[in-house]
Structure 1
Amino acid sequence: MRVLIVDDHPIVASGCRAVLSGESDVAPLEAADAESGERVFTAEQPDVCVIDINLPTVSGFELARRILARQPAARIIMFSMNDDPVFAARAIEVGAKGYVSKSGDPNDLVEAILQVGRGDTYLPPAIARRIAFAGPAAAQSPLAKLTSRELEIVRLLSAGKSLSEIAWLVQSSYKTVANTSSIIRQKLGVRTSGELVRLAIAHGVA
């Protein structure tokens, strides 16, 4: 089983290789950003993709969207430092078959790859419980109001990207991105870029 790992941190990539070294039937492939990840996926057609949400250009959500547009049956696991159940829920909305937190048990990644590789889905038990029992608390999180595409635009705005740059990165029109940006501000109740950046940092989006 060939597994594409898309992560821009060499230490994380090395750690993934080490964790997977005990699985004789798993052959890892690597990429460091969305662009190279898309190229490797197209060329190699891996069985499973493990994609970091916070990639240096467009996010893992956007990469997952592009891969699934090419291959709707692609098996994707989203990988993140953030264990907020909202991120897991958005990953599922995008079409991912699994979600793993980098701060969790390393065996979660192995189990996720094996299960998703078999055609199943995977959430670490701790995150699954948080989603199941979040109830009204999850709805109170500002992030719960945003779609995965809106989260992507918040992240890029927080990184200082202009609306024109964001439109190019997410392969959309300037008008669409501008309208989405306005909707985001209304949903989050913020008026300035500074307020948006502070909120994004506080909730692990930036």
Structure 2
Amino acid sequence: MKILIVDDHVIVREGVSRLLAELPGAIIREAENAADAMTIFRTEPPDVIVLDINLKGNSGLEFLRKIKAEDPAVRVVIFSMYSDVVYATSARRAGALGYVSKSAASDQLLMAVKRAARGETYVDSAIASELALTAFSPQENVNHLSNRELEILSLLADGKSLSDIADALGVAYKTVANTCTRIKEKLGVDRTADLIRFAVENRHMRTVTPDESRW
């Protein structure tokens, strides 16, 4: 099984590489940014990609969308510091088969990669519980938000300013501001303060009831 690990932290890549080396026949490549990962993806297509959301200069979810556009069958497991369902939902919509928090037990990442290799889905147990027990939003309009809009809503819930979000996503401030305007229109919210309040109050949200650890 060919596995590509994409993370901008060397220690994380080394740890994940050692862990996944336990899998039979594992051939592991590493990349620290989206550009290097894209080169490997195109020249040595991996069976599974283990991808962080935060990459230097890029959003991991944006990279995921790009490779899904090139190869809809690509199998990706998101391995992220974020353990709330907003990110898991956004990753799922972008085409990830799995989502595992970096605070999860190592066997959950192994399970996620094994299932992804078989074309199956997996979400770690803590996030699966949140998906099962909490509500995504009291408003159906949330279901009409795009992946990027959900991502920005989650960052607002984390207390990030529009400037912080622009820096984190590698886009212009105006782009974030315009996206927030669209979010407010979709949610029926008039003020940015109300949008932030909505984001904070609804950061743990239910989308589906998982079958054990499946999405």
Q: TM-score under structure 2 normalisation? A: 0.73
The 2-side partners of 1:133 and 1:83 are apart by 15
Q: Residue 171 of structure 1 corresponds to which residue in structure 2?
A: none
The 1-side partners of 2:11 and 2:174 are apart by 39
What 5-or-longer segments of structure 2 have no aligned partner? 204-215
Q: Residue 182 of structure 2 corresponds to which residue in structure 1?
A: 183
CA drift of 1:37 comes to 1.3
Q: Residue 28 of structure 2 corresponds to which residue in structure 1?
A: 28
Q: 1:20 to 1:31 in 2, by over 3 A?
A: same
The 2-side partners of 1:8 and 1:102 are apart by 14
Query: Looking at both structures, which has the greater relative contact order when contacts are Cα pairs under 8 Å and sequence separation is at least 6?
Result: 2
- Secondary structure at the aligned position of 1:72 is classed as coil
Q: Is the CA contact (8 Å cut-off) linking 1:98 and 1:116 kept in structure 2? A: yes
What 5-or-longer segments of structure 1 have no aligned partner? 168-173
Q: Residue 158 of structure 1 corresponds to which residue in structure 2?
A: 164
CA drift of 1:21 comes to 2.3
The 2-side partners of 1:107 and 1:81 are apart by 16
Q: Residue 71 of structure 1 corresponds to which residue in structure 2?
A: 71
Q: Residue 97 of structure 2 corresponds to which residue in structure 1?
A: 97
Matches within 5 A, 1:1-206: 1-135=1-135, 138-139=136-137, 147-150=146-149, 151=151, 157-158=163-164, 161=167, 166=171, 179-184=178-183, 189-190=191-192
Q: 1:76 to 1:26 in 2, by over 3 A?
A: same
The 2-side partners of 1:178 and 1:81 are apart by 25
Q: Is the CA contact (8 Å cut-off) linking 2:152 and 2:165 kept in structure 1? A: no
* Cα distance per residue 1:22-69 (max 9 Å; x no partner): 223111111111122112111111000111001111211000000000
**RMSD over aligned Cα atoms:** 3.2
* Cα distance per residue 1:94-142 (max 9 Å; x no partner): 111110100110111111111110111111122112102212xx327xx
> If each structure's helix is expressed as a fraction of its own residues, which one has the higher value?
1
Q: Match for 2:43: what amino acid?
A: A
The 1-side partners of 2:152 and 2:71 are apart by 21
